[in-house]
Structure 1
Amino acid sequence: MSGPRIGVLSLQGDVREHLAVLTGLGAEAVLVRRPEELAAVDGLVLPGGESTTMTKLAVRTGLLEPLRDAVRGGLPAYGTCAGLVLLADRLLDAPPDQPTLGGLDVTVRRNAFGRQADSFESRIALDGVPGGPLSAVFIRAPWVEETGPGVQVLGRVVGGAADGRIVAVRQGDVVATSFHPELTGDTRVHGLFVEIVRRAAAVGGAVAVPSGAGAGAPHPGGDQ
């Protein structure tokens, strides 16, 4: 049995790392830069990078509204770092005109952990991810300031100035983390998402979205 077809939004950010992890887990990992590519996937990863750049490119390429329609229509999605920003319904410390896709009833504070020089690695225990705490890399990372009633908190920072801050959440088939598991070699969070996508695809199949033109280029990135 072939794995689910999971797209990685490839407008900007650490796209290749997610593709490699998903492929290693048996998923069919593909680039998503156009609405017609989005329409052909069972799930979507929104990588870390620069959320403002991603949204500008999504607007320019005609992909923003199809992305919104897909996620809000039930397409399973996993956002890391900037991807968490993109999935949030509400933002703090963001440009007033910065759009998001929505899908997570949360308030997210951009760059909450500080500048690039403040990047760090920590051990985070996640509900629903067996095997003990995992290594979490934070790079100009956001955190979740508030959650709505339908949001499950999966993980928090333990210790230090950010003790108790929410860094992993789930709402239905949408998951997001402040950190970058694709950079550590620990595939458990991606494994959780692959299983979410597999189950959703078995029930209902991929979510159709309007097709249209547009393209972007993958570009490594690390901030929000």
Structure 2
Amino acid sequence: MNTARSYGSAKEDSPLCDVPGCGAKKKLLRHVSFVVCPGHDILMATMLNGVAIMDGALLLIAANKICSQPQTLEHLAAIEIMCLKHIIILQKKVDLVQQDVSLNQHSIIQEHIRIPIPKKDFESPPNMIIIRSFDVNKPGSEHDAMKGSVAGGSILRGVLKMNQIIEIRPGIVVKHENGNIRCTPIYSKVVSLFAAEQNELQFAVPGDLLGLAPRWTLL
């Protein structure tokens, strides 16, 4: 009997089967993370940051609007620029229009495309792309109570573990009077890892969306 189910990221890796009388444990197959990219034109920069870490995309198109809207074309252009090959195009709000209208739009936006499961590299040294960073300290915090900052992003390859020494590039960038630019990498130790819903992790694998709290050291 196939009892595959999806759970939130807070669920343990081997939960008990919920079929009455089964008693067996389920096996974790994969983690899936979703990034919501806004369609409004004023939020294009936010969308581009999200596309940089994606394996595939779900493009939602409203059936009750003329296809294609300018932002739809911009999103498709961004997908092409970022070389994102796997995309599913979905219609929404089909209950608000007549069937012939929905079918006509369907012929315009092409048929649905299935997203294959991407291959992940767990063997290479860990490489993480940082798409944002933020300060988690409360205003007016004492020196001893300060926790530093958190970097958010996704693991591209390898496995990132707690207490691992990492190198952050380009690091500190200084432009000298003669025009030369010097980049000094920052070396740090991972002191905490957490995923969505503030779940603490001991390691992170390719495809995970996570926050990383480093202990900064400049060498």
TM over 0.5: same fold?
A: no
Q: When the two structures are superposed, what TM-score results if normalisation uses the length of structure 2?
A: 0.27
Query: Greater CA radius of gyration, 1 or 2?
Result: 2
Higher helix residue share:
1
Higher strand residue share:
2
